[in-house]
Structure 1
Amino acid sequence: MEDANLQALAAKVELLIERIEQIKAHNRFLLANEKAWREERAHLIEKNEIARHKVESMILRLKALEQDS
């Protein structure tokens, strides 16, 4: 009987180890995704800033043209 309990416990431990490895792999995947999203977000923020500066520059030029007229 003790042997059966020990084998059942060993099987449960093996299942737990497998599950931990799956969770670790999933965590690595999620961390990689998060890194990619953060990089994309930073890139989009940079593009947005460039566009904002261009629009502000165009507005200033239009105001200057308007004052010259």
Structure 2
Amino acid sequence: MADFDINLLEQHVETLIRKCEHLREENASLRASQEHLVAERAELIEKTEFARSRIEAMVARLKAMEEQL
């Protein structure tokens, strides 16, 4: 009976170790994905700000041209 309990406990510990390793790998993957998405978001914000400033400059030029007419 004691051998059975030890074997069962050993199986449970092995299962927990495998689950822990899997979760560690998954966590690392999610962190890498998050870092990539944060960098991509920053790049998109920068591009949006650049586009906004160009559009504002074009609108200002159009208004200036309109006033000259």
Please tell me the TM-score bracket, short chain as reference.
Answer: over 0.9
Q: TM-score, normalised by structure 1?
A: 0.96
Match of 1:32 in 2: 32
Q: Return 5+ residue gaps in structure 2 as ranges.
A: none
Instruction: Count how many residue pairs are aligned between Structure 1 and Structure 2.
Output: 69
Kindly provide the amino acid, as one letter, of the partner of residue 57 in structure 1: A
CA distances 1:8-67 after superposition (whole Å, capped 9, x unpaired): 101110110111000010011011111111110110010000000000000000000111
Q: Distance in 2 between matches of 1:17 and 1:54?
A: 56
Aligned Cα root-mean-square deviation (Å): 0.6
Match of 1:19 in 2: 19
Q: Distance in 2 between matches of 1:68 and 1:20?
A: 72
Q: Distance in 2 between matches of 1:14 and 1:62?
A: 71
The percent identity for this pair of structures is 41
Q: Distance in 1 between matches of 2:22 and 2:32?
A: 15
Q: Return 5+ residue gaps in structure 1 as ranges.
A: none
Task: Report 1:1-69 matches (<5 A).
Answer: 1-69=1-69
Structure 1 runs (4+) deviating above 4 angstroms are: none
Q: Distance in 1 between matches of 2:67 and 2:33?
A: 51
